[in-house]
Structure 1
Amino acid sequence: MNSDQGVEFDVQAELNRLEELILDNPRIPFTRKTVVDEEQLLDQLDLIRMNLPRAFEEAVEVLRQKEEILLQAEEYAQDIIEAAQVRAAQLLDEMGIIRQAEMEAAQIRQQVAQECEELQRQTLGEIEQMRMQAMQELEQMRQVVIDECEDIQDGADDYADAVLTRIEQQLTDMLRVIRNGRHQLRGEPQGNSSEESNS
């Protein structure tokens, strides 16, 4: 299975499809086990595995766009600061008020830079959290699949053993009937253990 280029990949939706693939398959008679199509299951896991890097790339692209917006905002703020400085230089006298305005502008620049860095760290943290969550969900689904396969194998063995036990009992009953018929044909009494063991 391959997702089309340009179509947004929904990790949660694909994990839900994987769960449906397991739950919607037929069950083994007389057990609570489910028969899973191994090829479909592996295809779905491959689809998720192949698209996870692209999902991370999309998240990084979102981060890049946010950084561009923040950069534009910082440039806009810088333009405002510069315009304010020019206006202040025109209005203020020579008593040091211009120097005070320059200090305040530097403080504003520093504050904007700190806010941009904080937002960048927060966004990177969210992306890492999403990646870890996706990996944990994949590991959980992989363990569920392994457990389901083991349960299916155990259920199949138990079912086969029950069938063979039933056939063995039927063959034993048929052998007893055949021996009794032979005894009747020979005119021998039934239940002679030594005769039955020698016949």
Structure 2
Amino acid sequence: MTVSNIYKLLDKMETVMLKGFPLPAALVIVNHEKIIDTLDKIRASIPGEIQEAHNIIKRRDDIHLEAQKKANQILTEAKNQAETLLCESELLRAVQAEADRIRQQVINDCEIMKKQAYEDVESIRANAINEAIAVREGADKYAETVLTSLDRDLSELHGIVRNGQKHLSKIKADSIAAMTSQKTRSQFSSQLTTQK
């Protein structure tokens, strides 16, 4: 059948509608069988090209629907992947932030330990200097005490030596005087003997 036959059938259907019994509110009573028969003839007279075009349009709609589903699926997957990447990115940022915090904490701890070590070294050095000064002062005091005691002992010994020297000088003088006196007496005695 041709397209003109389709138009003829449509005109026939219109005529059936116009010849129908009118009702209020723009309704019409028509012969049901005639309308169905005309519709069947229209369907049967649709050329193969139109049917194929209809099938193509239907397939196009199906393809479009499938493409829409696929696009929605891809979009959902992309959204999920983006959320995953975002979570991973946030996790990476959190890990990086924690690493930065730990590194800063280590630097701070090292600075504190370095400062404490420096203070300890300074304290040990100051204590060593104070102890050295105390030892030196103690040694100086001890040496002064020993030297003072030695000076006193030497002074006493010097006095003893002088007294000993004086005593020896006196003994020597007394001895010489005694010897001289005895010699003089001997000589005098000798002279007396000679004179007799």
**Which TM bucket (shorter chain)?**
0.3 to 0.5
Larger radius of gyration: 2
Name the one with the larger helix percent: 2
TM value normalised by structure 1: 0.44
The answer to which structure, 1 or 2, has the higher relative contact order (CA under 8 A, 6+ apart) is: 1
TM-score by length of 2: 0.44
